[in-house]
Amino acid sequence: MKKTLLLLLFPALLIQVTHAQSQKKTTSGNPIAEGWYADPEATIFGKEYWVYPTYSAPYNQQVHFDAFSSPDLVNWTKHENVLDSSNVKWAKRAMWAPAIVKKDNKYYFFFGANDIQSDKAYGGIGVAVADKPEGPFKDYLGKPLIDKFYNGAQPIDQFVFKDTDGQYYIIYGGWGHCNIAKLKNDFTGIEPAADGKTFKEITPEGYVEGPVMFIRKGKYYFMWSEGGWTGPDYRVAYAIGNSINGPFKKIGTILQQDATIATGAGHHSVIKVPGKDEWYIVYHRRPLTETDGNHRVTCIDKMTFDKDGLINPVKITNEGVTANKLK
């Protein structure tokens, strides 16, 4: 009786509730968040998916990072200013392309800053630390971790990878060169390899920037971005090796523009659902309506493999992905 009376008195309420139910999201949609965001680092902490992108703006305005979390890949929550230049005194501009790992109950946030063009400039790859994935992150070293050009690689676009033996590596590089180096256990510096070298070049054919690595069925998958980041031909290619040091020979391109949906699809990261052979690729692209190089958005789509373990070309979509709640 009370329910009937309520609906008679407030018919608009019923309309609003019904409309809200019909509007409930069934897919993530692409992009996954409003605003210009690029170079996304995607990972899982506990029962939440996290994405840490570059704030895509002119370099002098790129002085902070936001993050996004989701329990299911469909509904995303924005966390503003997880790190900004006020907590990194040496970073003045062009803070971009983060990487993040959890170690010993701390969260380590690696980033590039200042877009240095030579060894005479000050900047490079830095590290910040926090007690929670949403920060606030603060400068860990008080200086860059890598501040010079080794093997011709600009110190940007770092990816931090934990190998099966527990050793952490940093894989990074712009200007068409990619290096790999062993990180000290406390992330305070670089540790020489068995041969005494610190930075080993593992650049595959076509490499430009944005390295990513993961292991699937005992094989090392090495991925990177090709082309110019402001152009429509930005794309992702990959290779497969038997060890973290390769050698890595390019197999092909798996992510690129679709002239009916978006251009410049690249600079990605990969998520594997724990305990399952289910994979997602998180990347940026440029809407068809945009020509400004910084107008990039962060998107997510499924990534699959064929029977031989090769990566199938990714179909970029406007719908994104359906819910996948972590257990």
Catalytic residue among 39, 41, 115, 301: 39
| Nearest one of 189, 140, 151, 144 to 173, comparing CA atoms | 151
The mean pLDDT of 40-46, rounded to a whole number, is 98
* pLDDT over 70 percentage in the chain: 93
Task: Say whether 155 sits in a helix, a strand or coil.
Answer: coil
CATH number at residue 153: 2.115.10.20
Task: Say whether 213 sits in a helix, a strand or coil.
Answer: strand
Residue 23 pLDDT class (50, 70, 90 cuts): low
How many domains, the chain? 1
Tens-place pLDDT, residues 232-262: 999 999 999 999 999 999 999 999 999 999 9
Is 277 part of the annotated catalytic residue set? no
25 within some domain: no
Is 39 part of the annotated catalytic residue set? yes
In terms of residue numbers, what domain contains 66? 36-303
Residue 20 pLDDT class (50, 70, 90 cuts): very low
Catalytic residue among 41, 66, 84, 209: 209
117 within some domain: yes
The predicted structure's pLDDT at residue 22? 38
Tens-place pLDDT, residues 189-212: 999 988 899 999 999 999 999 999
Question: Considering the entire predicted model, what is its pTM?
Answer: 0.92
74 within some domain: yes
167 within some domain: yes
Q: What is the mean pLDDT of the chain?
A: 93
Task: Say whether 8 sits in a helix, a strand or coil.
Answer: helix
